[in-house]
């Protein structure tokens, strides 16, 4: 299905179709503070829910006493695990997480009890009045320790959530042939999605014994399945609607308030609202897996890669969440977008008592990119080769084979992306003295007037999957209805695809306009009243739901042409939609749409992309639906005495297939780039003894606009085969290599090895002898 085929249906160019930067309906509302987020939901007479969470990362629960909480005035319900009528656990991939803890708690912040009260303050006090007798246990804090011999078993399988083993080519022989071998150990801290809209939702009991749930989420149908299982209600009695999402980035794939608010609403038969505070939010969603990565690369003297050995430990924290899929992704992409004839990759996701980790933008591809790109720089240094030249020499291209044995049957412009970045002029070197402090490392904090500054430039390239991997049945559904509203044709698009800020609503409307040729398109609220759309994750929603919308629009368009053909005795193949009517091949109008829409025309279609396969016991298989490639060049100024950084420019080159909405595409690339550089220089959830030390935006720092570099983007549009309009996903690719590029630039500026991300000032500092100032 390509844009050419779609054009067969319609002859009318629409103003706001695909390829145009149509403004988003939520944009102005959000920046002017008028957008209704899920935390703004309100129902007359509603109660407020609150959650009691474990203060301990690991403990036995001896008893829970809710007596005094229940007795408080204004409290309508206090619930514990005993009050969960259905399945007592939930989980996106594996239902291993208690709805409410019983017997044990496995991470700090684990939900133990719930309260509904007539005021949030009352609910909070009632939570504080619940008495839980804990027997604290020594937490298992470290991923390596979790799989060491003799480790305390938190779970079955020796604390392994999932393990992937890839054996490709012949590493042993390749190692014998290598002229140069470099190895390294890399580490990545725990990044948070840091979305600004905390978890929130409203559960309303319905007259039929069911429940209407309004929650900010990423995947309505899988939420509904889990809610139904735990509430012991049939699926059709749970109706879910996506509420205004204030950012997601993977952090809303796992449930937060869904089951809890539902339990409280059913118990009280009142509407119940739940909103996490900022601090609670840090405990209320999963984070990016911290990782330890041990790598060995072997190459010929000329710089041809011969083999890669990689051993990766992902700390999944207390529950499975999406760890298994993250593990598959990390393993599949472990060697980078290079031709690697032989590879041995062992990747394991483990259970610890740390905060649960799961989906976050980049999903496993981010962690490994830091390691393989650090290795490529190290190899270039060992070979005395230019780092970009080494990358280009080994770059993957269309037709290359990945370490899982998959042939890349799509554009893979790794070489071209690097070439584009290399060709860009470098930003000017800093002048000495007299500069605006905002242009200096330390910014407004006035730490340097030019002293100690060194510039560094670094490159990195990354890849990741688009769509669900490893044989999962990935699809989306759309219902499209065309009717006459006040004599004018109106298109209504209904899907369950969650708008999480990516611009999905806008692009669905653009596709509908282009395919049917009608300007007036309304995208209905995403809910479970229509079929599954899959998750707004894996950079897949524009492709899959876009594909479903396109298919449903085509079906409706054909229905209208069929009506015209029937009524006028013509061959539908000779007809086209045109200017609000149906025209024959010579352009003369046969019928107006108003005439044809005496009855609305409606169609529901599912879109399924090419099926992937699971990995076999050697980690071989066509696991990936499609690949996304992007590259970054970072230019940094470092105050090498204080270890402070100013990101001067982080340029991106990305292949997007086709930019359906160029402004949205740029927004995704810039946002992802900024989130990636945040991981490089500041973003980390710090834990000590499995306890979070910085659950606030005072100490979990994300880049401000003064920290954000200039982010010019080079956008390539090489059509994806088999994708609607030739598009490729763009939601994540920008995050994969931006951090690694910054790290490379920091290494150049400081001459330090920098094997851990995020890098801290003390690791960057002290690179010059005391007093050595360059200004």
Partner 1 sequence: MEFLQPSTWEEALAAKAAFPDAVPIQGGTDVMVEMNFDRRRPDVLLDLGRVRELADWASDAGSLRVGAGVTYARVIAELGAMLPGLALAARTVGSPQIRNRGTVGGNLGAASPAGDSHPPLLAAGAVYEVASAARGARRIPAHEFYLGPKRNALEPDELIAAIYLAPAAGGQQFAKVGTRNAMVIAACSFAVAVDRSARTIGTGIGSAGPTPLQAPDAERYLAGVITDEGLWESGRLPDEAVLERFGALVADAARPIDDVRATASYRRHALTVMGRRTATWALRDGR
Residues that bind partner 1 (CB under 8 A): 124, 277, 279, 438, 441-449, 451-452, 641-644, 646, 681-682, 686, 693-694, 696, 698-699, 701, 703-707, 760-762, 765-766, 770-771
Tokens (6 digits) for 568: 């006028």
The least CB distance from residue 604 to partner 1, in Å, is: 46
The least CB distance from residue 444 to partner 1, in Å, is: 5
The least CB distance from residue 603 to partner 1, in Å, is: 50
Indicate the length of the chain as a whole number: 775
Burial (0-12, 13-18, 19+ Cβ within 10 Å), 202 = buried
Q: Choose between 87 and 124: whose C-beta lies nearer to partner 1.
A: 124
Q: Ramachandran region of residue 287, left (φ > 0), alpha (ψ -120 to 50) or beta?
A: beta
- Give, in degrees to the nearest 5, the angle at Cα 31 between 29 and 37: 55
713 strand-pairing partners: 652
The least CB distance from residue 694 to partner 1, in Å, is: 5
Q: Choose between 82 and 445: whose C-beta lies nearer to partner 1.
A: 445
Q: Choose between 349 and 642: whose C-beta lies nearer to partner 1.
A: 642
Would you tell me how many other CB atoms lie within 10 Å of the CB of residue 580? 16
Q: Choose between 141 and 560: whose C-beta lies nearer to partner 1.
A: 141
The least CB distance from residue 592 to partner 1, in Å, is: 55
Would you tell me how many other CB atoms lie within 10 Å of the CB of residue 258? 27
Q: Choose between 60 and 693: whose C-beta lies nearer to partner 1.
A: 693
User: CA-CA distance, 449 to 277, in Å (whole number)?
Assistant: 40
User: CA-CA distance, 210 to 290, in Å (whole number)?
Assistant: 40
Q: Choose between 34 and 762: whose C-beta lies nearer to partner 1.
A: 762
If DSSP states are collapsed to H, E and C, what string results for 691-704? EECCCCCCCCCCCC
Angle between helices 365-383 and 323-332 (to 10 degrees): 20
Q: Choose between 282 and 463: whose C-beta lies nearer to partner 1.
A: 282
Cβ atoms of 182 and 310 within 8 Å: the answer is no
Q: Choose between 60 and 278: whose C-beta lies nearer to partner 1.
A: 278
User: CA-CA distance, 312 to 755, in Å (whole number)?
Assistant: 14
Beta strands in 139-290 (DSSP E): 160-168, 180-188, 200-205, 211-215, 238-242, 272-275
User: CA-CA distance, 47 to 272, in Å (whole number)?
Assistant: 5
Tokens (6 digits) for 188: 């990545």
**Furthest CA-CA distance within the chain:** 91
User: CA-CA distance, 51 to 263, in Å (whole number)?
Assistant: 12
The least CB distance from residue 677 to partner 1, in Å, is: 12
The least CB distance from residue 436 to partner 1, in Å, is: 12
Q: Choose between 422 and 449: whose C-beta lies nearer to partner 1.
A: 449
The least CB distance from residue 28 to partner 1, in Å, is: 21
The least CB distance from residue 442 to partner 1, in Å, is: 6
């Amino acid at each position: 299905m390509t844009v050419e085929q779609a054009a067969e249906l319609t002859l009318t160019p629409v103003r706001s179709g695909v390829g145009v930067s149509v403004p988003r309906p939520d944009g102005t509302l959000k920046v002017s503070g008028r957008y209704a987020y899920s935390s703004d939901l309100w129902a007359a007479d509603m109660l407020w829910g609150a959650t009691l969470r474990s203060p301990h990362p690991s403990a036995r629960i001896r008893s829970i006493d809710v007596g005094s909480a229940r007795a408080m005035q204004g409290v309508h319900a206090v619930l514990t695990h005993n009050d969960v009528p259905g399945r007592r656990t939930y989980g996106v991939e594996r239902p291993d997480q208690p709805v409410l803890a019983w017997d044990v708690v496995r991470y700090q912040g684990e939900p133990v009890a719930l309260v509904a009260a007539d005021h949030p303050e009352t609910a909070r006090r009632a939570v504080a009045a619940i008495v839980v007798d804990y027997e604290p246990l020594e937490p298992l804090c470290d991923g390596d320790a979790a799989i060491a011999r003799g480790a305390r078993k938190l779970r079955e399988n020796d604390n392994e959530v999932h393990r992937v083993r890839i054996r490709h080519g012949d590493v042993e022989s390749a190692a014998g042939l290598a002229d140069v071998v470099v190895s390294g150990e890399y580490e990545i801290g725990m990044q948070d999605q840091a979305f600004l809209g905390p978890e929130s939702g409203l559960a309303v009991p319905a007259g039929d014994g069911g429940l209407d749930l309004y929650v900010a989420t990423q995947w309505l149908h899988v939420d509904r399945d889990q809610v139904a299982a735990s509430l012991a209600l049939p699926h059709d009695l749970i109706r879910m609607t996506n509420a205004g999402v204030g950012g997601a980035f993977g952090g809303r794939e796992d449930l937060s308030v869904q089951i809890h608010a539902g339990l409280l609403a059913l118990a009280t038969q009142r509407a119940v609202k739940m909103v996490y505070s900022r601090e609670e939010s840090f405990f209320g969603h999963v984070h990016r897996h911290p990782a330890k990565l041990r790598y060995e690369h072997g190459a010929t003297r000329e710089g041809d890669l011969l083999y890669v050995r990689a051993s990766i430990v992902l700390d999944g924290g207390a529950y499975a969440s999406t760890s298994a899929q993250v593990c598959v992704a990390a393993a599949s992409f472990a060697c980078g977008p290079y031709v690697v004839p032989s590879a041995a990759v062992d990747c394991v996701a483990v259970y610890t008592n740390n905060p649960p980790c799961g989906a976050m933008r980049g999903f496993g591809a981010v962690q490994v990119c830091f390691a393989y790109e650090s290795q490529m720089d190290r190899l270039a240094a060992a070979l005395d080769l230019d780092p970009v030249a080494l990358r280009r020499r080994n770059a993957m291209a269309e037709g290359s084979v990945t370490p899982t044995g998959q042939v890349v049957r799509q554009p893979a412009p790794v070489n071209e992306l690097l070439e584009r970045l290399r060709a860009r002029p470098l930003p000017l070197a800093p002048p000495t003295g007299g500069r605006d402090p905002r242009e200096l490392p330390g910014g407004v904090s006035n730490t340097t007037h030019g002293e100690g500054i060194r510039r560094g430039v670094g490159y990195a390239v990354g890849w990741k999957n688009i769509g669900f991997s490893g044989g999962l049945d990935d699809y989306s559904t759309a219902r499209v209805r065309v009717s006459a509203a006040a004599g004018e044709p109106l298109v209504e698009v209904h899907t369950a695809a969650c708008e999480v800020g990516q611009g999905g609503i806008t692009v669905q409307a653009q596709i509908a306009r282009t395919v049917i040729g009608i300007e007036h398109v309304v995208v209905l609220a995403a809910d479970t009243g229509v079929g599954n759309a899959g998750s707004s994750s894996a950079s897949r929603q524009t492709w899959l739901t876009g594909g479903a919308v396109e298919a449903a629009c085509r079906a409706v368009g054909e229905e209208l042409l069929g009506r015209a053909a029937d009524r006028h005795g013509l061959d539908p193949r000779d007809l086209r939609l045109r200017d609000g009517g149906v025209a024959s091949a010579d352009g003369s109008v046969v019928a107006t749409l108003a005439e044809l829409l005496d009855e609305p025309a409606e169609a529901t279609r599912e879109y399924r992309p090419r099926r992937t396969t699971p990995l076999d016991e050697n980690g071989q298989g066509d696991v990936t639906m499609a690949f996304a490639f992007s590259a970054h060049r970072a230019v940094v100024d470092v105050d090498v005495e204080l270890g402070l950084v100013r990101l001067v420019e982080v340029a991106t080159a990305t292949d997007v297939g086709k930019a359906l909405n160029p402004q949205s595409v740029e927004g995704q690339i810039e946002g992802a780039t900024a989130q990636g550089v945040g991981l490089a220089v500041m973003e980390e959830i710090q834990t000590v003894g499995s306890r979070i030390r910085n659950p606030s935006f005072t100490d979990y720092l994300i880049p401000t606009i003064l920290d954000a570099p200039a982010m010019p983007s080079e956008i390539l549009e090489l059509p994806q085969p088999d994708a609607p309009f030739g598009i490729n996903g763009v939601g994540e690719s920008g995050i994969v290599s931006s951090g690694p590029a910054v790290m490379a630039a920091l290494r150049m500026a400081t001459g330090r090895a920098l094997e851990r991300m995020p890098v801290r000032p003390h690791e960057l500092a002290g690179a010059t002898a005391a007093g050595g100032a360059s200004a």
